[in-house]
Amino acid sequence: MLTITQALVDQIVAHARKDHPDEACGVVAGPAGSDRPERFIPMLNAAMSPTFYEFDSGDLLKLYREMDDRDEEPVVIYHSHTATEAHPSRTDISYANEPGAHYVLVSTADTDGLGEFQFRSFRIVDGEVTEEEVKVVETYRAGRTAAH
């Protein structure tokens, strides 16, 4: 299950809407080992495409160095789909190389009649995709810190 604050959900959805019709992408970092998304990091879609996203390799290297310096890891890796439902494509699955991360997909297309966007989370490990529940909270409970 992904537990995430409403503020982070709002930031991810706003980024997806802002970059529409191109796919938006980014990371939410959190303390290493905590499984708690905290720091919103919108990234540039280097592909600038409505059907594909790609992190800029230089930006990604800088991000991983920064997270390493801060003892963080990518808790959420997100991107948007602009014309299809929020479900990982074959390409998304092939690029998923963080087995501990939650892969969040936001669809800015109303593909299911449920409104203007979908917000779904998946685990992708060795090509296997498992959808997981998303629990949206106002704040994280105090005292839930990572054990070091």
Tell me the mean pLDDT in the region 31-55.
96
Q: Is 113 helix (H, G, I), strand (E, B) or coil?
A: coil
CA dist list (Å): 40 to 28, 70, 78, 84, 113 = 5, 14, 10, 24, 29
With beta carbons less than 8 A apart as the criterion, state whether 41 and 63 touch: yes
What percentage of the chain reaches a pLDDT higher than 90?
Answer: 80
The mean pLDDT of 7-15, rounded to a whole number, is 96
CA-wise closest residue to 104 among 78, 138, 66, 133: 78
Question: The pTM is what?
Answer: 0.90
DSSP of 89-102, one letter per residue? -HHHHHH---TTSE
